[in-house]
Structure 1
């Protein structure tokens, strides 16, 4: 019994142990093995706070995690796609840049000048430039040798980060988009944010050369090169990167500075500097450099030849940019503002536009209109005479012509050998590319044609003192009505000398002489003197019924001045290719074959001097000078002429309306003679008068008495009356016969 109790309680050492878990923390008994010492980290204050919170966070976190899970998955997917796509895009871009760069020439200078057309530089008689035509390229300049002011002005204006980017400027593009959007334009409309390298790529048309067979014109080709679509911008960026890979920054800038269009046909800064300032781009000062760089924004709008003040205002903006970016000190900036750029004499004058256009049209096409070379033409042009001509034209129209008048005028100044010294083709004296009335307008010549009638008489042996009857005259014209010319005054003057008849511009006398000399002789002399137009066949030939140009008429009068030899008006003296020492074409003078004898020419000159001294051309008198000339007014006053000469120059003046409306109150002896006098007064201001090459025949001796003259006039009147009566009888007889025939045959 006691044994059971002992096993049951487990107090006896000899009994079995109870099958129970050993107590971890007994109150007594055998010693327990020491437990491992553990270091317990003190929870952070934040965590402790969370533990102290009564809000159950676990479920919220799980809920947020479930919500964000799709977004996290999408983000990871996009990232995986983006970096892979970026890698592929970078490889494609690198391949495209590598390909484009492989197509670029090794020598960047090949890209400096690839114009489809050449240029023509026109020099005056003194060798000074006065006009340019075609795509003007002044010669290669480099970014390293050009004026530092111009170099800095271009960079400051167009791309201040040029030396820091790799051809494309993300900051510049972002800034341009922001400006465009703020201005209410499309993101790619207006400011493009293009770097200089991108602009160079555009100037190179992304490497696409001009092909005449593929494009309607160069204008269409260039318009396509300037397109601003998104795809075009992407190709432009690739080409720009290729340029940066292939060339240095200075080489890219050199290409840009040589190819940029800067107005007035100037391609590149050297051509523009020569065009506007008459100096090399290596020599320009800060103000000139700023004006040139300002042209890049809008070449035609800011061209100083179009509006000098607007060009200066734009230049001031560029100067401020240069000052802000440290290219100019405050002192240099102030000096440039106080001393703005001024144009060269040739650029400021803008003279000779009509003359230059005429030379370009009349010269060989391969070297003028369609040249692929750079051509230099020395001409007969005189800038001083041109200025005098323009001033005279403007003065007369301002002071003598009503403001609403549509009348036009043209002037040609020529030497006796046909060398044209000045030309104005319309009231807009400085026009270029406009209708040139001096060479393109075919107009009736009126009485300005009469010297060729009297020239025929002088050539056939008559003298200035020979007489002609000025009386009523009617001629039967086969197939037409009778021709009865009348004088401007509606009076007849009886027996007059040939000199008096020309001085008073008597029409009946001129027709009588023409008929007596033979129309064919008159027509031949006019043709040989250079009037190439079809001349009238009837008796109206003598009164200038035919048409001609002012240039032809002035050239014909030059033939009278030089002693009777024909001249071919010319302006081109010498043509050469740029860089070549030997000229391709030379012109020694325009004098051709003799038309009338020297004696006949001198007699005719004397007669024409009386026109100015005491006849219809009195307004053309020039104090101290001998002047010869002739007025001309056509039927209905549609054209008015005065052509005259001193011993040195022939000047032709024409006035009329382009639509052939009559002039109001204008005759050849009026405004045209006044313009002539104003022109010559300026031309001869510093010249010594020289006598005209003429012979004074002395006073005319009356051939008959006044009584005999009256008797002849009365006899002529009776003859005309008899002729009229005979014609009336013939008409009555014809009427009777016609009536008889109608009665017999019933009018069939």
Structure 2
């Protein structure tokens, strides 16, 4: 019988591995504990295990804050989502309205007028200058870098709006005591471009009171406007490339001096394309963007250069220029080109704008080039003569003004100064706009009428007390300036001494209507009064009209329309759209009569009231003029080459003190013509010297006539009765001898 288990071991397998040490056992236990802990943590996490909630007041507060925190999160996230959807929709709607880039490059409200002098050099600009559309990759790299460094250093990295820039601008504005949106705007170049585009709203005259109101609305800085601007900027970033946006900006930005866009500004200030700008020049243009009018180098070059130095510092700091390049640019600041620096002919340019044909003007947005008659040498001479006489002979406190016009015999205006202050534009032009009494400067038209009717310069007229009854006014008795009388005198002496009574008598003999017609035909556009005092120059005229009328006398008696435009061409076209506007017109008086009048006017300068205008090396002719109570003083005259007129007076018609036409105006004319004729060969005046009447010699019975005397025609005795002489000549002309 067998035993059933007693004395046997447990029925287990033999240990496969040797028994570990105690140290190993401890490590295993620790490892097992960590694993268990990890499993427990994961299990707790899966179950969403939470720490026990706090009890009491602290627990209540925690639960309340937790609730509101979750609520705020839910509301904020939903609002943000809705706002993002709305913003996306607005950006999308704006996106589809944006036109192609090429349609946005020229945004001027006006066209431009570029004026060239007779040497084909630019001397003036008017309207909104536009040098033509240029792309950002076509301008100087220095200009692009200068604009980005100055206006938007993060231009290539943002999406149209820079929150960092806006926050910085608000902080600066508040620190400087302004409103958050006043002063610095923090706008990116894209936002500035959106503003230049007026958010896509074009000017419509039917919707706005004026263009200035439209521009004011475009520049509004309210919070709502800023939001619209941001939406438009984001849409632009989505639609256009960075290069496109920069191109629009560089073409539309105003840079002072009437120049819109980088190309126009480069040509305006430096007479070179924008692609050729040096760092100093590029920095100057970029510096204009903050305040284009006040910083324009044509207004204040030093201030513009100081601003450019700041821009160069920014370019150096941002790595666009090396230290050596920046130092060289600062040491050689940009300066104006010769054309921009001269700034001459402002009055002349203003007058040209007034004479442009109606179908060509800046409002049409056409860009035109105008070739003019301006002679820069003569213009400089006119300005220098004005300055010289006023500095030497007029007290500084005087408010007296003066004007000068110089032209050729055919009416081509070579120079114009409309006031004492030269080098200005857009101001009152006394040469072309002021209508003033002409005084004795009108008398040549009286004598021109008499000569045309057959009178001789050697005919006589009696200077004596003289009165007329004027219907409705009573008796009128003119007086001479000298307050005395000279008795019988030739027409030559009457004109050279500027006698009033002989002038009135000759005018009445010839007929006031004929005198008025001759003056009007010669170019006096204002109404010539129909009174006996017309002979004394009580009618008004501009200096330009008077100078043009005297040019008609010089050219042989034909009328003259003063002109300044030789040709007008639409920019880019080869054929002129308009040719010469003005010149010689129809004959007013016979050439012989004109040549005799030139002879009489030469005597005024060589022997009469115009002696101070006498030139040292050539013949000159002209006439002085002083209006009632010495409110106006004139000298208008000519040489064989040029006609010039000078007016002097006060804008408010205050009488001049001790100034007549034969005084300061004659001296200005003399100084002017000496400068004008420097280097020009003297030429004789185109005048005819009439034969003086021969005196008859009474013969005695013992004196037999000589054979030669018997062959001569008997001379008629000189008639001292001017009225009878005039009537006789007219009757002989009508019925014959």
TM-score (norm 2): 0.86
Task: Provide the rounded CA distance (Å) in 2 between the counterparts of 1:222 and 1:703.
Answer: 84
1:660 aligns with 2:660: no
- Given that 1:465 and 1:701 are in contact with CA atoms closer than 8 Å, whether structure 2 keeps it comes out as no
- Judge which range, 184-193 or 609-618, deviates more: 609-618
**Pick from 442, 458, 463: which aligns with 2:456?**
463
- Given that 1:287 and 1:341 are in contact with CA atoms closer than 8 Å, whether structure 2 keeps it comes out as yes
Q: 1:150 to 1:58 in 2, by over 3 A?
A: closer
Task: Provide the rounded CA distance (Å) in 2 between the counterparts of 1:451 and 1:381.
Answer: 28
Task: Provide the rounded CA distance (Å) in 1 between the counterparts of 2:693 and 2:547.
Answer: 30
Structure 2 counterparts to residues 119-518 of structure 1, below 5 A: 119-368=112-361, 370-518=363-511
Offset of 1:167 from its aligned partner? 1.0
The superposition leaves residues 645-701 of structure 1 with CA deviations (integer Å, 9 ceiling, x where unpaired) of 111111111111121111111111111111112222222223222221112336676
Offset of 1:147 from its aligned partner? 1.0
Q: Residue 522 of structure 1 corresponds to which residue in structure 2? A: 515
Task: Provide the rounded CA distance (Å) in 2 between the counterparts of 1:508 and 1:205.
Answer: 69
1:605 aligns with 2:598: yes
Q: Residue 615 of structure 1 corresponds to which residue in structure 2? A: 608
Task: Provide the rounded CA distance (Å) in 1 between the counterparts of 2:125 and 2:426.
Answer: 12
Offset of 1:704 from its aligned partner? 11
Task: Provide the rounded CA distance (Å) in 2 between the counterparts of 1:513 and 1:180.
Answer: 78
Q: 1:291 to 1:703 in 2, by over 3 A?
A: farther
- Given that 1:629 and 1:642 are in contact with CA atoms closer than 8 Å, whether structure 2 keeps it comes out as yes
Task: Provide the rounded CA distance (Å) in 1 between the counterparts of 2:648 and 2:697.
Answer: 41
Q: Residue 721 of structure 1 corresponds to which residue in structure 2? A: none
Offset of 1:467 from its aligned partner? 2.3
Q: Residue 722 of structure 1 corresponds to which residue in structure 2? A: none
Give the greater-gyration-radius structure (CA): 1
Task: Provide the rounded CA distance (Å) in 2 between the counterparts of 1:701 and 1:318.
Answer: 85
Q: Residue 701 of structure 2 corresponds to which residue in structure 1? A: none
The superposition leaves residues 208-255 of structure 1 with CA deviations (integer Å, 9 ceiling, x where unpaired) of 111111112222211111100001001101111111111111110000
- Judge which range, 521-530 or 239-248, deviates more: 521-530
Task: Provide the rounded CA distance (Å) in 1 between the counterparts of 2:232 and 2:53.
Answer: 58
Q: Secondary structure at the match of 1:367?
A: coil
Task: Provide the rounded CA distance (Å) in 1 between the counterparts of 2:113 and 2:655.
Answer: 40
1:96 aligns with 2:90: yes
- Judge which range, 500-509 or 246-255, deviates more: 500-509
The superposition leaves residues 316-336 of structure 1 with CA deviations (integer Å, 9 ceiling, x where unpaired) of 111111121121222222222
1:73 aligns with 2:67: yes
Task: Provide the rounded CA distance (Å) in 1 between the counterparts of 2:102 and 2:619.
Answer: 61
Q: Residue 729 of structure 2 corresponds to which residue in structure 1? A: none
The superposition leaves residues 151-190 of structure 1 with CA deviations (integer Å, 9 ceiling, x where unpaired) of 1111111111111111111111111111101100011110
1:552 aligns with 2:545: yes
Task: Provide the rounded CA distance (Å) in 2 between the counterparts of 1:169 and 1:700.
Answer: 96
Q: Secondary structure at the match of 2:520?
A: helix
Q: For structure 1, which runs of at least 5 residues remain unmatched after alignment? A: 1-36, 45-56, 706-711, 717-748
Task: Provide the rounded CA distance (Å) in 2 between the counterparts of 1:499 and 1:334.
Answer: 73
Give the RMSD, CA atoms, in angstroms. 2.4
- Given that 1:119 and 1:371 are in contact with CA atoms closer than 8 Å, whether structure 2 keeps it comes out as no
The superposition leaves residues 528-552 of structure 1 with CA deviations (integer Å, 9 ceiling, x where unpaired) of 1011211121221111111111111
Q: Secondary structure at the match of 1:272?
A: helix
Task: Provide the rounded CA distance (Å) in 2 between the counterparts of 1:495 and 1:110.
Answer: 79
- Given that 1:497 and 1:700 are in contact with CA atoms closer than 8 Å, whether structure 2 keeps it comes out as no
The superposition leaves residues 450-498 of structure 1 with CA deviations (integer Å, 9 ceiling, x where unpaired) of 1111112222222323322222212222222222221111121222222
Task: Provide the rounded CA distance (Å) in 2 between the counterparts of 1:698 and 1:310.
Answer: 68
- Judge which range, 645-654 or 553-562, deviates more: 645-654
Task: Provide the rounded CA distance (Å) in 2 between the counterparts of 1:178 and 1:698.
Answer: 92
Offset of 1:554 from its aligned partner? 0.7
Q: Secondary structure at the match of 1:267?
A: coil
- Judge which range, 463-472 or 135-144, deviates more: 463-472
Q: Secondary structure at the match of 2:547?
A: helix
- Given that 2:410 and 2:584 are in contact with CA atoms closer than 8 Å, whether structure 1 keeps it comes out as yes
Q: 1:64 to 1:354 in 2, by over 3 A?
A: same
Task: Provide the rounded CA distance (Å) in 2 between the counterparts of 1:319 and 1:692.
Answer: 61
Task: Provide the rounded CA distance (Å) in 1 between the counterparts of 2:56 and 2:683.
Answer: 116
Task: Provide the rounded CA distance (Å) in 2 between the counterparts of 1:181 and 1:435.
Answer: 44
Q: Secondary structure at the match of 1:630?
A: strand
- Given that 2:53 and 2:59 are in contact with CA atoms closer than 8 Å, whether structure 1 keeps it comes out as no
Offset of 1:60 from its aligned partner? 8.2
- Given that 1:361 and 1:369 are in contact with CA atoms closer than 8 Å, whether structure 2 keeps it comes out as no
Q: Secondary structure at the match of 1:431?
A: coil
- Given that 2:109 and 2:363 are in contact with CA atoms closer than 8 Å, whether structure 1 keeps it comes out as no
- Given that 1:295 and 1:303 are in contact with CA atoms closer than 8 Å, whether structure 2 keeps it comes out as yes
Q: 1:704 to 1:311 in 2, by over 3 A?
A: farther
Task: Provide the rounded CA distance (Å) in 2 between the counterparts of 1:454 and 1:568.
Answer: 22
Q: Residue 21 of structure 2 corresponds to which residue in structure 1? A: none
**Pick from 77, 83, 104: which aligns with 1:83?**
77
Offset of 1:121 from its aligned partner? 1.7
Q: 1:244 to 1:518 in 2, by over 3 A?
A: same
Task: Provide the rounded CA distance (Å) in 2 between the counterparts of 1:340 and 1:221.
Answer: 37
The superposition leaves residues 80-108 of structure 1 with CA deviations (integer Å, 9 ceiling, x where unpaired) of 21122112211221221121111112x31
Q: For structure 2, which runs of at least 5 residues remain unmatched after alignment? A: 1-28, 38-50, 699-718, 723-737
Structure 2 counterparts to residues 715-734 of structure 1, below 5 A: none
Q: 1:61 to 1:364 in 2, by over 3 A?
A: same
